[in-house]
C-alpha cells in the first residue's frame, strides 16, 4: 500500500494517460494511479489460471457479500433478488431511464453535473432539465429546493437523477437534505435514479446515506447504482450493482435490458467479490492518503494559484476549481497549453461552467506537486 509509488501507466492501454501528448500530466478522468488491492489481483490470477472462460454466473457468494455490506455500512436491508449486476453505473442509469420514461418525458438533475447525465437522457429522446446548485462565498455548494420543486412542476418531470456523493463538487449530502429531496419527489410522484458510485469515498468521519434507505416509500420509487470501481480502482473492469426494491420497477428494468445489456463478465465480478470481501484495509489506507492529498491541494491552490478557488470536497477524489477570478476564458485550455496539465473542461459539466475545471487528486503526491508548480508558473508568466 505504497501510494507514493509512481507507476508507469504510459506503457499500458490507459485512457487517462493516452488521451493527451506524452509531456502532459493527466489529472482528469476518474480513475486513480494506485495499484488495486492485493486481494483483487490474487483473485483475478486464480480465475485466469483456471483457464476456462465459458458463460458464467455471478461468483458464488457475491450477492451475500453485498447484502451484508449494505447492512453493516448503512443498516439498509436489501435482499438477493433485489440486486442486478450491470456493466457500469452509466449503463445502469441509461437502462433505468429507458425503463421509466417515454420519448418527450423530462429528466432533472443538479448542475454542475457528471457529463453522462446530459447525454444519457438525450439518447432516449428525453428533455433535460438543469437545476443549478447554490454557491456559497467559500465556493461550497448546496441545493436550491425552491427552484428544484418549481422546475419539477413546470416541466412535468418524470425522473430525477440523483448523484451522491456529488460529481464534480464533492458534496456529501446530509440526512436533512436527502429527506427534503425525498419529500418533494414523493409529493410530485417523481422516480429517482440514484448514482452512488462514490459512496465509499467520504472524508472527515462522514457516513454515506443511500437515498433508498430513507424509507420504504422512497425505496419504492428509487433505482440505486453502486460499484467497486472508484472505491478499489477497478473502473476498467465494469462491474456495478443495481438495487431495485420495488418488484414492478425491477421487472421494468429487466424488460429494458433484455437482449440489450447483459451481465458483467466473469473477471469483473470476480474482482468485485474479492474487493468487497478483502479490500477494507486497503480502502482505509487509501482514504487517509486521499484526504491528505485533498488537504494539501486546497492549501497550496489557495497559496500559489491566484484567482483559483478550490472547493474542498467532502467525498470523491475529484476537486472542482473555480477559475473565474483569473479572467481565463477557458482554464482547461490554458493549463493544458501553458502548464501541460490535463484537467477536465468545465463545459462538460454544464455550458455555464466554462471558467471552471475538475482535477483528479487520486495520484501520488509528487504528481500534484508537479502540477501545482507548473500551473503557478503558467499563471505568473501569462
Neighbours of 105 (CB within 10 A): 18
User: Looking at residues 178-195, what average pLDDT do you find?
Assistant: 98
Percent of the chain with pLDDT over 90: 96
How many percent of the chain have pLDDT more than 70?
Answer: 99
Closest C-alpha among 58, 81, 78, 60 to residue 69: 78
Residue 304: band (very low, low, confident or very high) from pLDDT cuts 50, 70, 90: very high
- Asked whether the beta carbons of 357 and 335 are under 8 A apart, the reply is yes
Model confidence over 33-44: pLDDT tens digits? 999 999 999 999
State residue 2's pLDDT score.
95
272 pairs with which residues across the strands? none
Q: Which residues contact 235 (CB under 8 A, 6 or more apart)?
A: 30, 31, 229
Vertex 115: Cα angle to 294 and 107 (nearest 5): 120
Q: Closest Cα partner for 236 from 77, 58, 15, 53?
A: 15
**Contact call for residues 25 and 341 (beta carbons, < 8 A):** yes
Q: Indicate whether 121 pLDDT > 70.
A: yes
d(CA 123, CA 255): 18
pLDDT tens profile 107-119: 999 999 999 999 9
The closest alpha carbon to 225, from 181, 183, 192, 257, belongs to: 192
Whether the Cβ atoms of residue 112 and residue 353 lie closer than 8 Å to each other: yes
Question: Could you report the per-residue pLDDT of 276-303, keeping only the tens digit for each?
Answer: 999 999 999 999 999 999 999 999 999 9
pLDDT digits (tens, 9 = 90+) for 73-95: 999 999 999 999 999 999 999 99
Report the CATH number of the 15-30+280-381 domain: 3.90.1150.10
Q: Collapse the DSSP code of 65 into the 3-class scheme (helix H, G, I; strand E, B; otherwise coil) and give the result.
A: helix
Q: Are 224 and 196 in contact (CB under 8 A)?
A: yes
Q: Which residues contact 237 (CB under 8 A, 6 or more apart)?
A: 229, 264, 267, 268, 271, 272
CB 123 within 8 A of CB 144: no
Would you place residue 103 in the very low, low, confident or very high pLDDT band (cuts 50, 70, 90)?
very high
End-to-end CA distance of the chain: 40
Per-residue model confidence (pLDDT) at position 11? 86
Q: Residue 317: which of 351, 364, 350 has the closest Cα? A: 364
Domain residue ranges in the chain: 15-30+280-381, 43-278
Hey, do 15-30+280-381 and 43-278 end up sharing a CATH topology, with the first three levels equal?
no
Residue 48 has pLDDT above 90, yes or no: yes
pLDDT tops 60 at residue 139:
no
| Adjacent-strand bridge partners of 33 | none
Residue 194 belongs to what H/E stretch?
A: strand 191-195
Would you say residue 56 has pLDDT above 90?
A: no
Q: Does residue 371 have a pLDDT over 70?
A: yes
CATH number, span 43-278: 3.40.640.10
Count CA atoms within 13 Å of residue 34 on its CB side: 28
Of 381, 323, 315, 326, nearest in space to 356 by CA: 323
Q: What is the C-alpha to C-alpha distance for residues 105 and 266, in angstroms, rounded to an integer?
A: 36
Handedness of CA 253, 40, 319, 176 (dihedral sign): positive
Residue among 342, 365, 196 nearest 290 (CA) = 365
3-state class (DSSP) for residue 230: coil
| pLDDT for residue 309 | 95
Contact 30/360 with Cβ under 8 angstroms? yes
Residues 6+ apart with CB under 8 A from 141: 133, 134, 135, 166, 169, 171, 311
| Phi/psi at 238 (5° precision) | 55, 65
Strand partners, 127: 106
Give counts: helices (H), strands (E), the chain.
Answer: 13, 15
Q: Give pLDDT tens digits for 308-361.
A: 999 999 999 999 999 999 999 999 999 999 999 999 999 999 999 999 999 999
Q: Is the dihedral of CA 32, 38, 42, 43 positive or negative?
A: negative
Amino acid at each position: 500500500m505504497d501510494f507514493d509509488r509512481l507507476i508507469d501507466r504510459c506503457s499500458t492501454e490507459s485512457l487517462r494517460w493516452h488521451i493527451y501528448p506524452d509531456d502532459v500530466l493527466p489529472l482528469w478522468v476518474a480513475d486513480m494511479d494506485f495499484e488495486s488491492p492485493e486481494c483483487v489481483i490474487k483473485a483475478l490470477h486464480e480465475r485466469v489460471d483456471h483457464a476456462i472462460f465459458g458463460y458464467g454466473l455471478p461468483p458464488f457468494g457475491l450477492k451475500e457479500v453485498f447484502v451484508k455490506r449494505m447492512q453493516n455500512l448503512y443498516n439498509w436491508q436489501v435482499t438477493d433478488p433485489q440486486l442486478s449486476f450491470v456493466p457500469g453505473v452509466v449503463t445502469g442509469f441509461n437502462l433505468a431511464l429507458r425503463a421509466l420514461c417515454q420519448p418527450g418525458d423530462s429528466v432533472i438533475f443538479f448542475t454542475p453535473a457528471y457529463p453522462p447525465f446530459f447525454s444519457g437522457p438525450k439518447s432516449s429522446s428525453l428533455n433535460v432539465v438543469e437545476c443549478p446548485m447554490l454557491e456559497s462565498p467559500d465556493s461550497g455548494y448546496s441545493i436550491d429546493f425552491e427552484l428544484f420543486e418549481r422546475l419539477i412542476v413546470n416541466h412535468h418531470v418524470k425522473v430525477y437523477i440523483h448523484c451522491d456523493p456529488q460529481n464534480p463538487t464533492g458534496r456529501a449530502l446530509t440526512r436533512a437534505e436527502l429527506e427534503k429531496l425525498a419529500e418533494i419527489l414523493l409529493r410530485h410522484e417523481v422516480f429517482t435514479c440514484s448514482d452512488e458510485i462514490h459512496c465509499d469515498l467520504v472524508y472527515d468521519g462522514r457516513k454515506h446515506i443511500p437515498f433508498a434507505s430513507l424509507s420504504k416509500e422512497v425505496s419504492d420509487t428509487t433505482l440505486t447504482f453502486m460499484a467497486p470501481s472508484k472505491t478499489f480502482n477497478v473502473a476498467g473492469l465494469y462491474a456495478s450493482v443495481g438495487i431495485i426494491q420495488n418488484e414492478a420497477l425491477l421487472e421494468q428494468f429487466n424488460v429494458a435490458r433484455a437482449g440489450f445489456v447483459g451481465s458483467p463478465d466473469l473477471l469483473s465480478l470476480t474482482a468485485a467479490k474479492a474487493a468487497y470481501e478483502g479490500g477494507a484495509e486497503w480502502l482505509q489506507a487509501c482514504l487517509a492518503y486521499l484526504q491528505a492529498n485533498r488537504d494539501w491541494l486546497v492549501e497550496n491552490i489557495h497559496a500559489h494559484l491566484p484567482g483559483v478557488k478550490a472547493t474542498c470536497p467532502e467525498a470523491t477524489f475529484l476537486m472542482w476549481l473555480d477559475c473565474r477570478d483569473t479572467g481565463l476564458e477557458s482554464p482547461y485550455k490554458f493549463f493544458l497549453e501553458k502548464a501541460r496539465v490535463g484537467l477536465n473542461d468545465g463545459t462538460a459539466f454544464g455550458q455555464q461552467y466554462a471558467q471552471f475545471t475538475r482535477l483528479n487528486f487520486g495520484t501520488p503526491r509528487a504528481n500534484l506537486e508537479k502540477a501545482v508548480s507548473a500551473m503557478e508558473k503558467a499563471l505568473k508568466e501569462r
